[in-house]
Amino acid sequence: MAVATAHCVALSGAVGHLVDVQADVSPGQVGTTLVGRVDSALNEGRDRVRMAIENSDLAWAGTTKRVTVLLSPADLPKSGAHFDLAIAVAILAATGEVDPRALESTAFIGELALDGGLRSVHGVLPMVLAASKREIQHVFVPEPQAREASMVPGMTVLGLRSLRQVVAALTDSEVPEAPPVPPLSGGRFLAWRGAERLEEVDMADLVGLEDAKYAVEVAAAGGHHMLLDGPKGCGKTSIAERIPSIMPDLTTSESVELTAIRSLAGALDPALGMATRPPFSAPHHDASKASVVGGGSGRVRPGLISLAHGGVLFMDEFPLFRTDVIEALREPLENGDITVARGEEAVTMPARSMVVLAANPCACGNSTGGKSPECTCTPVQRRDYDLRMRGPIADRIDVVRHLTAARFTYDPLVVQETSAAVRERVTEARRRQALRYAEHDWRLNGQAPSAALRERWPMTREAQKAVDHEIGQGRLSRRGAVKVHRLAWTVADLRGAPIPGTYEASVALSLRQGHALPTAIVSERAG
């Protein structure tokens, strides 16, 4: 009996689990068996591996002996064709084609074609990250994904083209020639429709809207969710698209998390390296639940809310989104992650983005507030539209701004503040938060638990009285009071105040309840 073990990684959402691929070649009924909770795509790997080994001019043991492959731990669900290479190498090591000692501290990731060529797979970065945490020091991947795998510090990466090249590398033989491995996707011929378009926008493009600009600055500084409400043409989309421009670069952990999510979704371009800037996602209001929060048939894929991790998820015409999408947002808005449960599988993915909702006063969008002769909505349509805006999602929004259709005359003598200037203040406010929460799991005020705020970072007594008064008058819920507390700390961080006082609390209440901000703030920003 000959047994050998190779290593691969099973993915459950963004979490990777190291898998031991054990191959046993022994006398018995001729055949190949895969065990260890494998799915149909992985079970089909028996035929892919057999043909790849034979067409690589290597000895296939399954012709005369029984081959049993165990993927351990056996109770962990495993799916995908990326196990092919590990299975093939384990079988070859069990038959003596490869020294089993050469497989130690090494992971093998890649799909095999029938001719023995390697094929690229999704999720290489999170798989290599998980392997590195289990003392794996070397990894074999398809050639186009070597750069992606090399993003993990301290990992020795070998990007190869075929099974024969892998065997040659393991046996210290001359590496044969092989055709190039095709990448997962084609060229970026539609890049002009992506994030690059937003690199040209700036807060200086917006004339007026000082109240909304300050609200956006506070929201970006503390990672607070936001609602922009107003008639068509009042600037909701223009403001939302410029929010990433005032946000600082991603932290190291955020960069790794976002890049891993993109790898899982098949949206990673290794040529661009690690993600450094906050992303921006804007799904259409007809988008499905799976596309927004994650899911899909077969392998669970990240949704747009996860692809916006560390950045902005903008949902324009929010009340027109499907009910199941709106209801699914409760968890990520509150917890910063999303769990997709399907059958026996439950996948949790990070979704700590700043959610910005935009809505018109009515479904047709022609109303300017109150009764408007241009509005064509029936009373039932208006009621349903309002109910969607006043549901449980609205209570999870931190900042509310009601915009108007006021027009401003352009004055060339008035210099509008640039995104770079605002970004400096936002960066400094986030630095203060990072120091305050250095010993905790959360990073921003918008993520701080209410219990921790009450016990360790309370407001002044006068400020708390002002908030309690609003609760007593029924104008603020307990959940809303927590939002105000978080906002007050962000206002204090932007001002450099050591603790939120009555001024910070009054500004936070205005931001939360949608009231006009103090004149001093608007005047200061208007220059």
CATH of the domain at 349: 3.40.50.300
Q: Is residue 429 part of a domain?
A: no
Mark whether 8 and 152 lie in a shared domain: yes
pLDDT of residue 221: 96
Q: Please enumerate in sequence order all residues whose Cβ is within 8 A of that of 227, keeping only pairs 6 or more positions apart, or say none.
A: 318, 356, 357, 358, 359, 389, 394, 397, 399, 400, 401
Q: Is residue 114 part of a domain?
A: yes
Mark whether 73 and 124 lie in a shared domain: yes
pLDDT of residue 344: 63
Q: Which residue has the tokens 């009042």?
A: 234
Mark whether 202 and 340 lie in a shared domain: yes
Structural domain boundaries, residue 77: 2-170
Mark whether 207 and 147 lie in a shared domain: no
Q: Computed from CA positions of residues 508, 512, 518, 520, in that sequence, does the dihedral angle turn out positive or negative?
A: positive
pLDDT of residue 186: 46
Q: Which residue has the tokens 């199941």?
A: 324
Strand ranges (E), 65-105: 66-72
Tally of domains within the chain: 3
Q: Is residue 443 part of a domain?
A: no
> CA–CA separation, 130 vs 143, rounded Å?
20
Mark whether 158 and 204 lie in a shared domain: no
Mark whether 202 and 337 lie in a shared domain: yes
Burial (CB count within 10 angstroms: exposed 0-12, middle 13-18, buried 19+), residue 108: buried
| Percentages of the chain per state (helix, strand, coil), in multiples of 5 | 45, 15, 40
Supply the CATH number for residue 518's domain.
1.10.8
pLDDT of residue 436: 95
**This model's pTM is above 0.85:** no
Mark whether 393 and 252 lie in a shared domain: yes
pLDDT of residue 189: 42
Mark whether 476 and 515 lie in a shared domain: yes
Q: Is residue 6 part of a domain?
A: yes
Q: Is residue 76 part of a domain?
A: yes
Mark whether 461 and 388 lie in a shared domain: no
Q: Is residue 464 part of a domain?
A: yes
Ranges of residues in the chain with a pLDDT under 50 are 186-194, 526-527
Q: Which residue has the tokens 């603020």?
A: 476
Q: Which residue has the tokens 């004149």?
A: 519
How would you classify the pairing of strands 138-142 and 111-112?
unpaired
Full DSSP string of 411-450: -TTSPPPPHHHHHHHHHHHHHHHHHHTTTSS--SGGG--H
Mark whether 90 and 203 lie in a shared domain: no
CA dist 107 → 20, 131, 132, 269 (Å): 9, 7, 10, 22
Mark whether 396 and 499 lie in a shared domain: no
Q: Is residue 74 part of a domain?
A: yes
> CA–CA separation, 344 vs 321, rounded Å?
28
Q: Is residue 178 part of a domain?
A: no
Within 14-83, residue ranges assigned H as helices are 40-43, 45-55
Supply the CATH number for residue 33's domain.
3.30.230.10
pLDDT of residue 369: 59
Q: Which residue has the tokens 């209570």?
A: 395
CB 365 within 8 A of CB 351: no
Mark whether 92 and 16 lie in a shared domain: yes
pLDDT of residue 192: 40
